[in-house]
A = this chain, B = another copy of it.
């Protein structure tokens, strides 16, 4: 095992706790839970995304994904429409209200991050961004941690 790895793991896990479900009392903003918000972000980034794609992006089953989308649809943040190419496929699209919600929440988080880094020099901020980009690239490449 290489040097520093246990420390790095502990640091990532602690940081993640603050940005995870427990970080904000179950509601990330208004009426959205964290999964709902993450799913909404996916839909925002990739319009006409399918249920399964959402599920695998978030590491939940298609059954779970279907329910997350149910909730988002009930709140009028997304719309389901049948794919023209394949009648089985359900294309999910974000609504104006959805974009509004996502924007507001992202602002709130960004404020929080801004507060975190308020004493960082511009160079240090750039370095933070670069490190995080490299870490995120790595986790994307590795995929989710497999449970035993």
Size of chain A's interface in residues, with CB distance under 8 A? 69
Residue of B nearest to A17 (CB): B38
Judging by beta carbons under 8 Å apart, are B138 and A116 in contact? yes
Interface-located stretch among A25-33, A73-81, A88-96: A25-33
Which residues does chain B contribute within 8 Å of A129, judged by CB atoms? 4, 7-8, 11
Q: How far is the CB of A21 from chain B (nearest CB, A)?
A: 6
Given contacts A131-B128, A146-B24, contact A18 B108 (CB under 8 A): no
Judging by beta carbons under 8 Å apart, are A145 and B20 in contact? no
Q: How far is the CB of A121 from chain B (nearest CB, A)?
A: 11
Q: How far is the CB of A54 from chain B (nearest CB, A)?
A: 12
Given contacts A132-B12, A142-B112, contact A58 B22 (CB under 8 A): yes
Q: Which residues of A pack against B, CB within 8 Å?
A: 1-30, 35, 38, 58-60, 106, 108-117, 120, 122, 124-129, 131-136, 138-139, 141-142, 144-148
